Structure 1
Amino acid sequence: MPADAPTRGAMILAAGRGERLRPLTDRLPKPLVPVAGRPLIEHHLHALAAAGFDQVVINVAWLADAIMAALGEGDRFGLRILYSVETPGALDTGGGIRQALPLLPDAPFLVVNGDVFTDFDFRQLTTPMGADDLARLVLVPNPAHHPDGDFALVGDRVRRGASGDSRRTFAGIGVYRPGLFGGERPVRFGLGEALQPAIEAGRVAGLPFDGRWHDVGRPATLAALGGPPVPSAE
Structure 2
Amino acid sequence: MKAMLFEAGLGTRLKPFTENHPKALAPVNGKPLLQRNIEYLKAYGFKEIVINVFHFADQIIDFLNANDNFGMTIHISDERPEVLETGGGLVNAKDYFTEDFLVMNVDILTDLNLSDFIVSHQENNAMVSLAVTNRDSSRKLLFNTENHLKGWRNLNTNEEILANDTANGLKELAFSGIHIIKPSIFKQIHFEGKFSIMKVYMELMKTETIIGFDHSGGILIDVGRPSSVLEAEEIFK
Rounded to whole Å, the distance in 1 between the matches of 2:123 and 2:141 is 22
Rounded to whole Å, the distance in 2 between the matches of 1:111 and 1:73 is 24
* SS, match of residue 154 in structure 1: coil
Hey, what does 1:149 align to over in structure 2? 140
* SS, match of residue 205 in structure 2: helix
CA contact (8 A) 1:153 1:206 kept: no
C-alpha distance 77-151 of structure 1, shift in aligned 2 (>3 A): farther
Given candidates 166, 182, 194, the residue that maps to 2:200 is 194
Superposition map of 1:2-17 within 5 A: 8-17=1-10
Q: Could you tell which deviates more after superposition, 77-86 or 66-75?
A: 66-75
Given candidates 91, 97, 116, the residue that maps to 2:108 is 116
TM-score by length of 1: 0.84
Rounded to whole Å, the distance in 1 between the matches of 2:140 and 2:190 is 29
C-alpha distance 117-131 of structure 1, shift in aligned 2 (>3 A): closer
Hey, what does 1:170 align to over in structure 2? 175
One-letter amino acid of the counterpart of residue 205, structure 2 = I
Q: Percent identity?
A: 30
C-alpha distance 69-205 of structure 1, shift in aligned 2 (>3 A): same
- Residue 74 of structure 1: how far off its partner (Å): 6.6
One-letter amino acid of the counterpart of residue 71, structure 2 = G
- Residue 148 of structure 1: how far off its partner (Å): 5.3
Given candidates 181, 189, 203, the residue that maps to 2:186 is 181
One-letter amino acid of the counterpart of residue 231, structure 2 = A
Given candidates 217, 221, 237, the residue that maps to 1:214 is 221
One-letter amino acid of the counterpart of residue 219, structure 2 = R
- Residue 38 of structure 1: how far off its partner (Å): 0.9
Per-residue CA distance 1:186-215 (angstroms, 9 max, x = gap) = 211111011112212251011101210011
TM-score by length of 2: 0.83
Rounded to whole Å, the distance in 2 between the matches of 1:19 and 1:119 is 25
Hey, what does 1:140 align to over in structure 2? 133
> Would you say 1:159 and 2:153 are equivalent positions?
no
Hey, what does 2:95 align to over in structure 1? 102
Hey, what does 1:57 align to over in structure 2? 50
One-letter amino acid of the counterpart of residue 48, structure 1 = L
One-letter amino acid of the counterpart of residue 71, structure 1 = L
Paired positions, count: 217
Mark the runs of 5 or more structure 1 residues left unpaired by the alignment. 1-7, 228-234
- Residue 100 of structure 1: how far off its partner (Å): 0.6
- Residue 36 of structure 1: how far off its partner (Å): 3.7
C-alpha distance 157-131 of structure 1, shift in aligned 2 (>3 A): closer
CA contact (8 A) 1:153 1:168 kept: no
* SS, match of residue 213 in structure 2: strand
Rounded to whole Å, the distance in 2 between the matches of 1:125 and 1:78 is 24
* SS, match of residue 24 in structure 2: helix
> Would you say 1:70 and 2:70 are equivalent positions?
no
Rounded to whole Å, the distance in 2 between the matches of 1:195 and 1:134 is 10
